[in-house]
Amino acid sequence: MVLHFLIRGRVQGVGFRWFVHREASELDLRGWVRNTEDGDVEVVASGTAEDIAELRASLKKGPRGSRVDRVVEHHLEENEARELQSFRIEGAW
């Protein structure tokens, strides 16, 4: 299963990408997380339905100091996961 998430709210400058990286790595998901220019956080994750569901729950909660207003998600085709490697943070550190 491959999903794309867009997390809106106070999600930049609060350790959100590190939080997602830790959660996704513990679940052994493949994919990436990055900030968007609009102030959101974007995630692509590939794994089992159960593990994706756990990640979804974490995304809706967020780390301490964040405020998640909305999580937008859509399914991607399985072939879009072929290039995904171990979960990583993309973009500026």
Task: Write out the catalytic residue numbers.
Answer: 17, 35
| Sign of the CA dihedral with 76 first, then 62, 27, and 91 last | positive
Work out the number of other CB atoms within 10 angstroms of the CB of residue 10.
14
Q: How far, in Å, are 65, 72, 89 from residue 45 at the CA level? A: 23, 14, 12
